[in-house]
Amino acid sequence: MHDIDSRADTPFDPPIISRKGDDPVWKMHKFCWKDAGTWMPQLSAWLAPKFRKDGLRRLNPGGFRDLPWDDPEWLALLGRCLAAGIEYHAETLANALEFSILRTFHGCRTDDAGSYFREGLRLHDRDAMKQRLIAIVDQNDELAGMRTRLDISIAEVDITLDIGRLFVVADDTALLERAAHYLIYGSEWITAVLGRGRHVLLKTGVPTMIEVDLPLSVATPATRIAFARKMLSEWTRRTCNLPDWHAPIDFSFCLHENIPPAWVVGHSHPVQLRDPLERRQLYKSPRTRCAYCGL
């Protein structure tokens, strides 16, 4: 559609942003952040007609830049090579991604990952969690001291962000590195209410990473734009520095609807985790298979 030689290398009037989700490069395309081969070629093809006349010379693919992976300069560098501003391209890419599908991850502790394959992932229901908490306290005699003051303990924990929400992340690297307590203990709210008594949560279940193929149409436009910026930054770093490792982004999608079973595509049980609630002590799960794996 665009002829590379006919593009002006001068101030540029952006074209009208294309209709959401109608971009053939991305429509129904499945990709995984960690596996750059699933999206770098597509992003290269998508970006190709958007470069200024001397854009590739400015970018200098393969020309190493001594920048941290998360330096904002990567995005700025790409912006200087493209016609129109980088924010325009981030928004256009976000729109194009609307009907693509991203592999995402959700950390939990469960006896049976099969429940996620059968029932999907549910929004945080505080009443249901409270019933689970009461059952845990009733079943564990070492928590007997909590029984009479459970309501007080609940009132003391001010975690409300997750009510009616569900979080998945684009890269499990950061989740495993910094937030493994979701896999070690399960529910963050129950863990917080139990305090030191949280060790009872280690008696059952297996640390589990659930894999979800998330249609990006369920993300908000603002979240898609933020993710598009990560992709453009990482594309630039990879194109220049040719690294053999991916940027470990800490990127969450906050959902307001349940994830249906059809989107749940895999699970795994990490063997060793660093516990952020125990000064990053090494936690080795005694079990690495759930009922769904076959005990």
What is the contact surface with Zn ion in residues (CB under 5 A)?
113, 290, 292-293
Query: How many C-beta atoms lie closer than 10 Å to residue 217's C-beta?
Result: 13
Q: Return the number of the residue (207 or 248) whose C-beta is nearest Zn ion.
A: 207
Q: Return the number of the residue (175 or 225) whose C-beta is nearest Zn ion.
A: 175
Which of 204, 233, 219 is closest to 170 using CA atoms? 219
Q: Return the number of the residue (91 or 211) whose C-beta is nearest Zn ion.
A: 211
State the Cα–Cα distance between residues 68 and 65, nearest whole angstrom.
9
β-strand partners of 210: 106, 267
Q: Read off the amino acid at residue 105.
A: F
Least separation in angstroms between residue 36's CB and Zn ion is 27
State the Cα–Cα distance between residues 292 and 295, nearest whole angstrom.
8
Instruction: Provide DSSP, 47-78.
Output: HGGGB-TTHHHHH-TT------TT-THHHHHH
Q: Return the number of the residue (113 or 214) whose C-beta is nearest Zn ion.
A: 113
Q: Whose structure tokens read 């930054």?
A: 233
Least separation in angstroms between residue 187's CB and Zn ion is 19
Question: Who contacts 131 (Cβ-Cβ below 8 Å, separation ≥6)?
Answer: none
Least separation in angstroms between residue 77's CB and Zn ion is 43
CB 243 within 8 A of CB 146: no
β-strand partners of 8: none
Q: Return the number of the residue (56 or 293) whose C-beta is nearest Zn ion.
A: 293
State the Cα–Cα distance between residues 103 and 118, nearest whole angstrom.
19
CB 102 within 8 A of CB 31: yes
Least separation in angstroms between residue 284's CB and Zn ion is 17
In eight-state DSSP terms, residue 18 is: P
State the Cα–Cα distance between residues 134 and 140, nearest whole angstrom.
10
Least separation in angstroms between residue 109's CB and Zn ion is 12
Q: Return the number of the residue (206 or 228) whose C-beta is nearest Zn ion.
A: 206
Q: Whose structure tokens read 């910094």?
A: 178
Least separation in angstroms between residue 106's CB and Zn ion is 14
Least separation in angstroms between residue 46's CB and Zn ion is 37
Least separation in angstroms between residue 113's CB and Zn ion is 4
Q: Return the number of the residue (123 or 293) whose C-beta is nearest Zn ion.
A: 293
Q: Return the number of the residue (227 or 292) whose C-beta is nearest Zn ion.
A: 292
Q: How many residues does the chain have?
A: 295
For residue 7, the Cα-to-chain-centroid distance in whole angstroms is 36
